[in-house]
Amino acid sequence: MPRADTSNRCRTALIILLALLSLPLLCAQKAAAAPLTPQEERGRQVYVNGASPSGVPILAYFGKDLLEVPGESATCASCHGYDGLGRTESGVIPSNITWPRIMKSYGHIHPDGLEHGPFTVESLKSYMEDGIYPGGRQGDPSMPVYRIDARDLDDLIAYLKRLDSYLDPGISDSRIRVGTLLPSGGPSAELGEVMRRTIEAYFSDINTRGGIYGRSLTLTTGRPRTTADMSRFLRSMAPEQEVFALVNSFTPAMESELGNLIEEQHLPLIAPFSLFPIEDQLLHRYRFYLYAGLREQILVLARHATNSLPLKNPRIQILYPEREGLAGMLATAEEIFRSKGWKDISRTGYTAAGEIPAAALERLRDGGSDLLLFLGGETEAGTLFKALGDGGCATTLLMPGVPAGKAIYSIPLSCKDKVWLSFPSLPDDRKEWGLSEFRAMAARQQLAVTHPTAQLAAYSAAKILVEGLRRAGRNLSRERLLEALEGIFEFDTGLTPLVSYNKNRRIGALGAHIVGVDPLQAGSNGFFIPRGWIAAQ
């Protein structure tokens, strides 16, 4: 046989062999990209939520005494993970329950040495309901048994078959689709648009360098006018428009509703800050913030007063707008005051913006308060400062700086050394290398810098997302992104305080700067006098 023919035949055989070897991979990728069937989606809800989409109760039973708990308290995902791989926790080693692993033809040997034969679909269902392994041996005592409707169990099995290959919404082999929500109109619309352009420019810059493990980042924007609009954006997207995560969503009027929706949809959110976080924000799994919200700033102000101000048994007045979510924040401040032995505390609420009760202003003018914690907005702050200016400033004032806005510059001269503000971030947090990095990106992407504070906040949130995506690796899922973000410790964005997260911490820079003011320096750089950072652990 001629040598050339032999060489050609070898090359042909090699090409065919490579094609055959790659065929299963190509098929697996195609299957991974396919959306869940209705049955698989129902099974996913059972797996993740421990509840039946049909409303039929699912109950779990633990131990020899068969302690009964709702299925929502013993979900599959809580032990085996959203990817089914299992995570060792508190000495318990949950099994890897991905379908190829659980259906091994040669059976199983468990960490405790117990062996049993292979599962079939029917014996697996039976094990979930009675805890007996194939062959009649008692199963893992840490694994609950379930009372579950037959249809729900079939749906769960259907989802388990997809668990190892299903890609979360918003991911393909070549793309990660990220969403953002912005105001549809009003005074915040322009600011939101500038923040959107900043994120798009940053994503484009990442993509020019190869993206994230070969996947490009794309940004989808929603501008909901109502909560219903926002719900449709998150729930009813066509498969090609679904998003993997949200970044920098800026919907001040619908923040509470957004929080509920992303928890229901298991949709990670990375945002600069939450203006009015709910009281148990740190325990909510899918929300990550860069900066402290109002609750943490109030805590920092109270600690500053009790630890650093020369006050002894002060008469404390709390002046606040009657708004949902503030009650718990006020209780936190009062608890700190009382821990110092300060018990003379009164609250005064008001409902209409700018209309501080006359009695509260009179009390301040008459020297009836030694310490005022003020939580109003810019209009009310202007009213308050005018009242203090008319009557002298006998009261020490604590207030979050951001809500007060430009009214801060109307602080009367008599209040020198009497006003203390909290800010989640200051320009001093920005390092020169961080600013240089941002400027270089903006120049490469022809991004106009028009609202630098807002743009740097949006850019920093996007940097945290990208850092999480990189740490999560090529085998990306929402679960792996959450775990990656929870592992971030003292990450330096170059533009913010150091950022750390963990399972019970969802605010990266958990604390605030305390700032004094010198009204004599109004209009100059010496007006604000930083007094240090206080952690809000």
Closest CA to 127 of 149, 108, 146, 100: 146
pLDDT at 109: 85
Kindly state whether residues 379 and 518 are assigned to the same domain.
Answer: yes
pLDDT at 15: 35
Q: How confident is the model at residue 26 (pLDDT cuts 50, 70, 90)?
A: very low
Helix runs in 236-309, H state only? 255-265, 294-308
Number of domains into which the chain is organized: 3
**Are the beta carbons of 180 and 222 closer than 8 angstroms?**
yes
Is 206 domain-assigned? Answer: yes
Task: Name which of 120-124, 286-290, 381-385, 460-464 the model is least confident about.
Answer: 381-385
Is 396 domain-assigned? Answer: yes
**Are the beta carbons of 250 and 224 closer than 8 angstroms?**
no
Kindly state whether residues 304 and 247 are assigned to the same domain.
Answer: no
pLDDT at 537: 73
Is 507 domain-assigned? Answer: no
Is 269 domain-assigned? Answer: yes
| 3-class DSSP state of 69 | strand
User: For the chain, what is the mean pLDDT?
Assistant: 84
pLDDT at 354: 64
Lookup: tokens for 147: 């009372």
Lookup: tokens for 172: 């393909």
Distance from C-alpha of 446 to C-alpha of 448, rounded to nearest angstrom: 6
The mean pLDDT value for 40-45 works out to 89
Domain that holds residue 484: 175-292+431-497
Question: What is the DSSP code string of 240-257?
Answer: GG--SEEES---GGGHHH
| 3-class DSSP state of 27 | helix
Is 211 domain-assigned? Answer: yes
pLDDT at 469: 97
Kindly state whether residues 253 and 356 are assigned to the same domain.
Answer: no
- Encode pLDDT of 368-415 as tens digits: 789 999 998 888 888 888 887 766 678 899 999 988 888 888 888 888
- Final residue belonging to a domain, choices 131, 160, 189: 160
Kindly state whether residues 89 and 49 are assigned to the same domain.
Answer: yes
Kindly state whether residues 234 and 140 are assigned to the same domain.
Answer: no
Kindly state whether residues 280 and 305 are assigned to the same domain.
Answer: no
Query: Looking at residue 336, which CATH number applies to its domain?
Result: 3.40.50.2300
- Final residue belonging to a domain, choices 160, 191, 212: 160
Distance from C-alpha of 365 to C-alpha of 372, rounded to nearest angstrom: 12
**Are the beta carbons of 371 and 396 closer than 8 angstroms?**
yes
Unique residue bearing structure tokens 């692993």: 101
Distance from C-alpha of 389 to C-alpha of 416, rounded to nearest angstrom: 11
| 3-class DSSP state of 484 | helix
Cα separation values, 300 from 69, 197, 290, Å: 39, 33, 16
pLDDT at 402: 87
Question: 84: phi > 0 → left, psi -120 to 50 → alpha, else beta; which?
Answer: left
Is 51 domain-assigned? Answer: yes
Question: 266: phi > 0 → left, psi -120 to 50 → alpha, else beta; which?
Answer: left
Q: At what angle do helices 189-208 and 452-472 cross, to 10 degrees?
A: 40
Q: CA angle 226-232-236, nearest 5°?
A: 175
Q: What is the pTM of this model?
A: 0.76
Unique residue bearing structure tokens 């979930």: 128
Kindly state whether residues 375 and 454 are assigned to the same domain.
Answer: no
User: What letters, b where the CB count within 10 A reaches 16 and e where it falls short, cover 261-289?
Assistant: bbeebbbbbbbbbbebbbeebbebebbbb
- Encode pLDDT of 129-156 as tens digits: 998 999 888 888 888 999 999 999 999 9
Distance from C-alpha of 381 to C-alpha of 517, rounded to nearest angstrom: 15
67 DSSP β-pair partners: 62
Instruction: Label residue 85 exposed, middle or buried (CB < 10 Å: 0-12, 13-18, 19+).
Output: middle
Distance from C-alpha of 115 to C-alpha of 109, rounded to nearest angstrom: 4
Query: Looking at residue 154, which CATH number applies to its domain?
Result: 1.10.760
Unique residue bearing structure tokens 């206080």: 534
**Are the beta carbons of 511 and 534 closer than 8 angstroms?**
yes
Q: How confident is the model at residue 298 (pLDDT cuts 50, 70, 90)?
A: very high
pLDDT at 250: 75
Q: How confident is the model at residue 176 (pLDDT cuts 50, 70, 90)?
A: very high
Kindly state whether residues 398 and 485 are assigned to the same domain.
Answer: no
With a cut of 60, say whether residue 501 has pLDDT above it: yes
Is 93 domain-assigned? Answer: yes
Lookup: tokens for 374: 């003020």
Kindly state whether residues 89 and 201 are assigned to the same domain.
Answer: no
Distance from C-alpha of 420 to C-alpha of 199, rounded to nearest angstrom: 34
Kindly state whether residues 340 and 288 are assigned to the same domain.
Answer: no
Q: Order of strands across the sheet with 528-535?
A: 345-350, 316-321, 371-374, 396-400, 419-423, 511-517, 528-535
Kindly state whether residues 258 and 391 are assigned to the same domain.
Answer: no
Is 249 domain-assigned? Answer: yes
Kindly state whether residues 330 and 416 are assigned to the same domain.
Answer: yes
Residues in contact with 342: Cβ distance below 8 Å, sequence separation at least 6, in sequence order = 306, 311, 313, 314, 316
How many Cβ atoms are within 10 Å of 110's Cβ, its own excluded? Answer: 13
Cα separation values, 284 from 23, 49, 288, 367, Å: 42, 15, 9, 42
- Final residue belonging to a domain, choices 132, 160, 188: 160
